[in-house]
Amino acid sequence: MTTKYLALCAIAGLAASTACGKKDEKKNAAPPPTAVSVVTARTTDAVYYDQYPATVVALKTVELRSQVTGFITSLNFQEGEFVPAGKVLYEIDKRQFEGAYQQALANLRSAQASAQNAQVNQVRYQRLLQQDAVARQLAENASTTASTAAAQVASAQAAVTIARTNLGFATIRAPFAGRIGISQVRLGAQVSAGTTLLNTISSEDPIAVDFAVNETDIQRFITLQNKKGAVGDSTLRLVLPNGQPYTQPGTIQTIDRGVDAQTGTITVRVQFANPQRQLKDGMSGVLKALNTKSGSRLVIPNKAIVEQMGENFVYVALGDSAKQRKVQLGPRLRDDIVILSGIKDGDKIVTEGVQKLRDGGKIQVSAPGAAAAAPAGPTAGGPAAK
């Protein structure tokens, strides 16, 4: 009985030992390879732009204000039309100014007559003084009267100039060729000298775009300003508010005199031809400046990038394993991104399955875009792999 009991214990112990051995073998088995897709890093012509919020501004803009006080008697334009330089736009009641001008002319003629008479008397008294026929005091008085009369003539001439100028101010003309806006006053309205805004006129062709750049980029735009751009140059381009590109190229006209101390930026003005009058003063847009690093660059899909602790990495497929590489990123090009350093042309870059990878992990490469399927295991009920 004792012998039979010992034999059963030995068999049970042997079975338990075998089961534990299989459990430890399964626990220590290597994890299955991760299914991934790869693409080849390629060098291509990468053209990309830096973008800046921009505002369209007219090169010439003038607020029209009257220089005399009066009532509007005539509006001689269609609101919103393009007007040539010198066109009469507004007229103010001229009657008082015409009267003042005529009065000034009459005063001038009177002063001239008095001066002429004083001059004759001066000559006469000087001749009599030479003959000792008149007192010296009278001769000196005649000379003073003649000088005073001459000064009165000059004063009257100045008054005529002022009256003529005020009469001219009653007619308001376009200072340059441009687009006239909506009138701020109507027929019969009273306007005050120097204060009442009548309208605004601005030039349209050429036109400018203003945008702010960081002070670290000043030298870059100075270089662009000194560059002689050819017809069709794509260095500076404008994107319209509707997202459509503006077809005319731009050239840098002005870089502001100084940097804004609060923002650390400087304003740059780019000039564009505007033959179709598409650009309007005050319109917003995006100014695109060709990046100096455009050219032949290494490009990979953006989804291959893994960010860790503020640094960027990719996984490079080397045989049946994936190695992590730190990379320096350039601008993004839609679904791709420029790589400035870290990998080389021809490297196989993991694009799908990167979330499951670790450095040096085993991989199973599938076709790009294919679903990442789990590796096949032993069939249920079948023999375990050795």
CA distance 265 to 270: 16
pLDDT at 371: 39
108-112 long-range Cβ contacts below 8 angstroms, 24+ apart: 108/153, 108/156, 108/157, 108/159, 108/160, 110/156, 111/149, 111/152, 111/153, 111/155, 111/156, 112/153, 112/156
The domain 51-59+205-290 having CATH identifier 2.40.30.170: the answer here is yes
CA distance 313 to 179: 55
Calculate the alpha carbon distances from 303 to 39, 350, 365 in Å: 11, 9, 17
Q: Are 142 and 119 in contact (CB under 8 A)?
A: no
- Taking only the tens of pLDDT, the chain with its 386 residues reads 455 554 555 555 555 555 555 555 555 556 788 888 888 888 877 777 888 999 999 999 999 999 999 999 999 999 999 999 999 999 999 999 999 999 999 999 998 888 888 888 778 767 877 777 777 787 777 788 888 888 988 999 999 999 999 999 999 999 999 999 999 999 999 999 989 999 999 999 899 999 999 988 888 888 888 876 544 456 888 999 998 999 898 888 899 999 999 999 999 999 999 999 999 999 999 999 887 766 677 888 888 888 888 889 989 988 888 888 888 887 777 788 888 888 888 888 888 887 888 888 887 787 554 433 334 333 333 333 33
CA distance 171 to 73: 10
CATH architecture assigned to 95-169: Orthogonal Bundle (1.10)
Q: DSSP letter at 71? A: E
Kindly list the domain boundaries of the chain, sorted by start residue: 34-46+295-366, 51-59+205-290, 95-169
pTM attached to this predicted model: 0.63
What's the topology of domain 34-46+295-366?
2.40.420
Task: Pick the closest to residue 350 from 370, 365, 372, 333 (CA basis).
Answer: 365
